[in-house]
Amino acid sequence: MVVLDTAVWQAHLLPALAIGLAAFMQGITGFGLVIIAAPLLMIFYDPRETVLMMFVVALLTGIVQTFLVWKDARYKLIETILVGYIAAQPFGFWIFAHFSANQLKLLVSTVILISLLLMQFTHHRFSLCRRNSILMGFLAGICGVTTGMAGPPLILYFAYTELTPAELRGTSVVFFLISGIISIGFFLFQGVPMYAAAVESLYLIPALVIGLLLGHAVIRFVSVKLFRFMIFFMLYFICAYMFYELAVQ
């Protein structure tokens, strides 16, 4: 009985703490749930299952947050980005189906590291034109299907345009909700079983909700700049750990 309790604790409590931390950061900064949670959950789950779980968790997060920010979203921009996102689904699924678990883990680490470096050190400004939006949507589609993280290309794009913080937040949340539904539908259409990932995600919902509520509660009292620094520091550490883990295998 003790062994069973220990197994349950290891299987669900630690992943729930990881989701709670990611949701807390999401509540403060307005983005980053999947970017933070995906590498953390890969410590406890198979990378392929983690990708599927991220779609379910992100979908639940999007449903909650959309009610709060839908008025700030740029819907014409979302429609244009979705063109590229939908076009990328077959290519992303091919990578997902043919890459090994370690290759997916390496891909996740590389995507995060490159995105972090670009977000910190590039000062290039993007114009919100149809070509750029479709291209970023395509890159987001590839990243989303293969790693569960469509965010990095779009966060880079949105952060270096004329979008206001409120528009960035609202547009991101609504887009990720719609794109998540599309990707889950595509996986189901391709015959990928989602049941196990959905069941595991259910265990994480309480921590997800608590993290989001706590993040929204303290946002007025905590420096967003400080917490963004914490996100960068933590992700750099996670990338280094995952690269080390792959190197010693």
| % of the chain exceeding 90 in pLDDT | 13
Annotate 133-147 with DSSP letters as a single string: HHHHHHHHHHHHHHH
Q: Considering all CA atoms of the chain, what is the largest pairwise distance in Å, rounded to the nearest integer?
A: 60
Could you tell me which residues come within 8 angstroms of residue 151 by beta carbon, excluding any fewer than 6 positions away? 31, 32, 34, 35, 140, 143, 172, 176
149: nearest Cα among 73, 47, 227, 79: 47
What pTM, to 2 d.p., does this model score? 0.76
Give the model confidence (pLDDT) of 60-116 as tens digits: 888 888 887 888 899 999 999 999 999 998 988 888 888 876 777 787 778 778 877
Give the model confidence (pLDDT) of 151-170 as tens digits: 777 877 887 788 887 788 88
**How many residues in the chain?**
249
